[in-house]
A and B are shown apart, each in its own frame.
Chain A
Amino acid sequence: MTDQVQIFDVDTLRADFPILQQMHHDGVPLVYLDNAASSQKPRQVIETIDDYYRRYNANVHRGVHKLSEEATAAYEEARIKIRHFINAASKREIIFTSGTTDSINLVAQSWGRANLQAGDVVLSTVMEHHSNIVPWQLLAAEKGIVVKYVPLLPDGTLDLEAYTRFLRDEPVKLVTVMHVSNVLGTINPVQEMARQAHDAGALILVDGAQSTPHLPVDVQAIDADFYAFSGHKMLGPTGIGVLYGKRELLEAMPPWKGGGDMIATVRLEGSTWNDLPYKFEAGTPIIAGAIGLGAAVDYLTALGMDKVQAHEHAITEYALERLAEVPGLTLLGPADAAKRGAVTAFTLDGIHAHDVAQVLDAHGIAVRAGHHCAMPLHEIYGTGASARASFYVYNTPQEVDALIAGLYKVKETFAI
């Protein structure tokens, strides 16, 4: 791995990330491997946000003054960048939200409440993040819909035969599935799942929180009805996310949140709604967040998402190889790097994941420990928690080596 030709110049790229320049403590460099939780931000994103607040901070869509004009232009330009990034057919299909969770709740509360009836099935999977389980459970409690879950095969991929059976035997109105698992790393065949869902007369919502930052996404090729993702996992700021929806679906959906900017007219007797996408953007939006996400999209586009994917694939392949050397380590999810994204969750025999993470942190290595907002999945694997190292554009094979060395130190500390 270390001898391979680099896909892009990681050293130069790392210089763009101020946080990676600092020492973790006492001369120990920071090895940041918690990218599935949140990515670091390049100076280009930080400076874009700083520039907005310093130079043209104002509300959007309202003022006729220069600052508001400039803020509105930058906010709408970000929307167009994102449309191209995921190949949506129209900028009107790009709804700014506060994140993936907000996007999924929007679909549940708007489309779901208007279109689902008691007995209808929402088909999720057992590997979902809580944000793609709980909104549907809330709707189930309110409307009497039924939430069912596609099970896993032993290799950590979805049981697609069971999926096909669910679609055949149950009144499934919506399939809701993550594109890439935040624990197993599994890349789900969402395009094929969309085709089957549509053949069965169901819609499909894809949770793209772990895919959009890491691989080329084409919502039209997938034929997703809805696609949700977050800015902060893809070099952008927190507090901003996107819901993509097919235009004809969004047009027919009632608003979810009411307030300013989403109306055409308001009278005391009732109101009418603004056009897409504003119908779903009530209140002053996360202006700096949207503009910052636009800068993040510029950064990723300049790298090339195919190269981002290739870089991460190489790192993941190397990490899987090295993790397999560690005695007592059990990897969750597919052993084959070709079937997964840049996420490696694992358990160490006899040592709780929190303790693993704590000792790694003492050596400057940041990983996540816990259930990663996927409690049902951890229950299936018979473990309460796992440790997770997840990679991004700035990670290097040397950092994988540091992780492995750190894991041996963990074992030493606990004398296992």
Chain B
Amino acid sequence: MHDMYREIILDHARNPRHPGVIDQADVEYEDYNPLCGDRLHLTLKVDENNVITDVAWEGEGCAISQATASMLGDEIIGKTLDEVKQITKEDIFDLVGIPLTMNRVKCALLSLKVLQIGIHGKEHWQKIEDEGEE
């Protein structure tokens, strides 16, 4: 089996954590990877202290984008919105734990893109996306 599909990725891709849509969500956002057609829809519950209490993903995509969303969901429950703001591309690469080729980076980053734009806006996301690439 190729390195890119190590067991944990396949596990999250087959059995994604946090599936579905949260009713009366505090944050809701959907975006795409236009290059391969992946779609991710995010809903979040946030308490009065800006702590994320629940997360749900809905959409379709490849094993990398689905598994990353699933793992990122685990990561952010219990974090504040400000803490989420600090999550970088590198954090996602660490989570995935395998080297990604350039075009697959887009797949791996889709969930972070949806999360960051949903909470902190497009400009903040593009800052994260461009880091180290200028």
Q: Of all chain A residues, which has the CB nearest B122?
A: A275
Cα distance, A345 to B104, chains bound together (Å): 53
Cα distance, A83 to B133, chains bound together (Å): 11
Q: Counting CB contacts under 8 A, is A390 at the interface?
A: no
Task: Given A68-B103, A73-B102, decide whether A92 and B34 contact each other with a Cβ distance below 8 A.
Answer: no
Q: Counting CB contacts under 8 A, is A61 at the interface?
A: yes
With both chains docked as a complex, state the minimum distance between the C-beta of A248 and any C-beta of chain B, in angstroms: 10
Are B103 and A72 closer than 8 Å at their CB atoms? yes
A68 surroundings in chain B (CB, below 8 A): 103
Chain A interface category by residue count:
20 to 34
Q: Of all chain A residues, which has the CB nearest B125?
A: A275
A274 surroundings in chain B (CB, below 8 A): 34
With both chains docked as a complex, state the minimum distance between the C-beta of B110 and any C-beta of chain A, in angstroms: 12
Closest 7 A/B residue pairs (Cβ): A69-B101, A264-B34, A69-B102, A61-B35, A274-B34, A264-B32, A64-B103
B103 surroundings in chain A (CB, below 8 A): 61-64, 68-69, 72
With both chains docked as a complex, state the minimum distance between the C-beta of A151 and any C-beta of chain B, in angstroms: 42
Are B101 and A265 closer than 8 Å at their CB atoms? no
Are A275 and B126 closer than 8 Å at their CB atoms? yes
Q: Counting CB contacts under 8 A, is A80 at the interface?
A: yes
Q: Counting CB contacts under 8 A, is B130 at the interface?
A: yes
Cα distance, A59 to B31, chains bound together (Å): 24
Q: Counting CB contacts under 8 A, is A91 at the interface?
A: yes
- Listed by A's residue number, 26 A-B pairs whose Cβ atoms lie within 8 Å are A61-B103, A62-B35, A62-B36, A62-B103, A64-B101, A64-B103, A64-B104, A68-B103, A69-B102, A69-B103, A72-B102, A72-B103, A76-B133, A83-B134, A90-B134, A91-B130, A91-B134, A92-B126, A261-B35, A264-B31, A264-B32, A264-B34, A265-B32, A274-B34, A275-B126, A278-B34
Cα distance, A66 to B32, chains bound together (Å): 23
Within 8 A of B (CB), among A219-244: none
Q: Of all chain A residues, which has the CB nearest B35?
A: A61
Instruction: Point out residues on B near A: beta carbons under 8 Å.
Output: 31-32, 34-36, 101-104, 126, 130, 133-134
B126 surroundings in chain A (CB, below 8 A): 92, 275
Cα distance, A63 to B36, chains bound together (Å): 9
Q: Of all chain A residues, which has the CB nearest B134?
A: A91
Cα distance, A83 to B130, chains bound together (Å): 13
Are B35 and A92 closer than 8 Å at their CB atoms? no
Given A64-B36, A91-B133; 18 other pairs, CB 8 A cutoff: A62-B36, A63-B103, A64-B104, A68-B103, A69-B102, A69-B103, A72-B102, A72-B103, A73-B102, A83-B134, A90-B130, A90-B134, A91-B130, A92-B126, A92-B130, A261-B35, A264-B32, A265-B34
Cα distance, A66 to B101, chains bound together (Å): 8
Cα distance, A263 to B33, chains bound together (Å): 10
Within 8 A of B (CB), among A293-321: none
With both chains docked as a complex, state the minimum distance between the C-beta of A162 and any C-beta of chain B, in angstroms: 40
Cα distance, A17 to B111, chains bound together (Å): 49
Q: Of all chain A residues, which has the CB nearest B62?
A: A64
Cα distance, A91 to B131, chains bound together (Å): 11
Cα distance, A68 to B126, chains bound together (Å): 23
B32 surroundings in chain A (CB, below 8 A): 264-265
A72 surroundings in chain B (CB, below 8 A): 102-103
Within 8 A of B (CB), among A232-275: 261, 263-265, 274-275
B134 surroundings in chain A (CB, below 8 A): 80, 83, 90-91
Cα distance, A92 to B34, chains bound together (Å): 17
A278 surroundings in chain B (CB, below 8 A): 34
B104 surroundings in chain A (CB, below 8 A): 64
Task: Given A90-B134, A92-B126, A275-B126, decide whether A263 and B34 contact each other with a Cβ distance below 8 A.
Answer: yes
Within 8 A of B (CB), among A27-85: 61-64, 66, 68-69, 72-73, 76, 80, 83
Cα distance, A91 to B130, chains bound together (Å): 9
With both chains docked as a complex, state the minimum distance between the C-beta of A69 and any C-beta of chain B, in angstroms: 5
Task: Given A69-B101, A72-B102, decide whether A80 and B35 contact each other with a Cβ distance below 8 A.
Answer: no
Q: Of all chain A residues, which has the CB nearest B129?
A: A275
Q: Which of A61, A64, A80, A92 has the most CB of B within 10 A?
A: A64
Cα distance, A385 to B134, chains bound together (Å): 45
